[in-house]
Amino acid sequence: MKTVSASPIVHATMPSGIIRLLKLLPWLVVAALPLALPGYEPLATQVFVMILFALSLDLLVGYAGIVTLGHAGLFGMGGYTAGILSVHGITDPIVTALYGMIVAAVTGLVFGAAMLRTKGLTLLMLTMASASLLYELANKATGLTGGEDGLQGVSFTPVLGLFPFDFRGKTAFFYSLATLFLVFTLVRALINSPFGWSLRGIRENDARMAAIGCPIMQRRIIAYVISSALAGLAGALQAQTTQFVALYSLSFELSGNILIMLILGGSGRLYGAFVGVPAFMFAQDLLAKQDPANWFLGQGIILIAMVMLAPGGILGIAERAVNAIKTRRGA
């Protein structure tokens, strides 16, 4: 059949230790990047943070089938939590990141419990509304958040007490890469767990899942809370690595962008976030150079083209190409 993957064959012929090393290889290459491209650390850090954010969204969009246009609300909650704590003297990166996750998770639980009874368009509108609510709260609470000026005076002590955030962004680079690796490992374990499979079942046919005794609402809320915590972690990382929290981190624009990045890469594929985020940022950079005023036009055209021609994103195209080559060889 078409969908049989090649991996079991590879596994059969190679010792598992080597496979594991091969899987680590891309990470090691990326970790060596500062040697090859010095000066690009801050940009790479931004990419890592966005990949982490997109990965948290993939858990919802790609696996649980919950499409949200308010994910930035949770990202921003994590960012503001870490930022505000640091302004008030709690400056350990890992501690503040954990607080960011907790606050985002609790926010996700409260909103999720209210919203996830609905589906489809209604749910989409509610997610948007929930994020706008947080955005306006942050906008008004200038004493706490700095409002439109953003949160100033954010700074953090060295990671693990050993690695201070430096000017060139090396610490931020490795800190965010390590966090991304941990989260990737966690998400991969999640989607391969019985829980992850049941989420796919709910996405494919929720009525049938109910009919086999699955507490759908509970599963969806758990997925939402985990995704919220991870989005909050991404937000906290953003605050820590840029030493600034802007209102943008709660904005509809960011919610939309992160969804576009995920769809561009391919949702429900785990690696979609890793492909979509750099592709989006690259395209954004290129288009902005061509026409700084109207680059949204180019972005819109790319999005429409992707949705109409390649619903599986870039990874979907790659998958089809590989399948086509395989069938040609087979024939």
User: Binding residues for other proteins, per CB under 8 A?
Assistant: 1, 3-4, 186, 189-190, 192-198, 200-201, 204-205, 207-215, 218-219, 222
Q: How far is the CB of 132 from other proteins (least distance, A)?
A: 31
Q: How far is the CB of 32 from other proteins (least distance, A)?
A: 30
Q: How far is the CB of 214 from other proteins (least distance, A)?
A: 5
Total count of residues recorded for the chain: 331
Residue 237 in tokens = 């990382």
Q: Closest CB to other proteins among 211 and 309?
A: 211
Q: How far is the CB of 225 from other proteins (least distance, A)?
A: 11
Q: Closest CB to other proteins among 209 and 277?
A: 209
Q: Any idea what the Cα angle at residue 75 is, between residues 73 and 80, rounded to 5°?
A: 90
Q: Are 196 and 130 in contact (CB under 8 A)?
A: no
Q: Closest CB to other proteins among 155 and 192?
A: 192
In the block, tokens 């972005």 appear at 299
Measure the CA–CA gap between 223 and 119, rounded to whole angstroms.
15
Q: How far is residue 187 from each of residues 4, 57, 196, 246, 250, measured CA to CA in Å?
A: 23, 11, 9, 27, 23
Q: How far is the CB of 56 from other proteins (least distance, A)?
A: 15
156 Rama class: left (phi>0) / alpha (psi -120 to 50) / beta: beta
DSSP letter at 69? S
Q: Are 187 and 181 in contact (CB under 8 A)?
A: no
User: What is the number of other CB atoms lying within 10 angstroms of the CB of residue 180?
Assistant: 25
Q: Closest CB to other proteins among 36 and 212?
A: 212
Q: Closest CB to other proteins among 67 and 199?
A: 199
DSSP characters over 232-262: HHHHHHHHHHHT-B-GGGGSHHHHHHHHHHH
Q: Closest CB to other proteins among 32 and 210?
A: 210
Q: Are 115 and 123 in contact (CB under 8 A)?
A: yes
Q: How far is the CB of 217 from other proteins (least distance, A)?
A: 10
Q: Are 38 and 196 in contact (CB under 8 A)?
A: no
Q: Closest CB to other proteins among 143 and 330?
A: 330
Q: How far is the CB of 25 from other proteins (least distance, A)?
A: 22
Q: Closest CB to other proteins among 152 and 205?
A: 205
Measure the CA–CA gap between 31 and 19, rounded to whole angstroms.
19
CA atoms within a 13 Å half-sphere pointing along the CA-CB vector of 86? 33
Q: How far is the CB of 59 from other proteins (least distance, A)?
A: 12
User: What is the number of other CB atoms lying within 10 angstroms of the CB of residue 330?
Assistant: 6
Q: How far is the CB of 195 from other proteins (least distance, A)?
A: 5
Q: Are 70 and 130 in contact (CB under 8 A)?
A: yes
Q: Closest CB to other proteins among 1 and 162?
A: 1
DSSP letter at 147? G
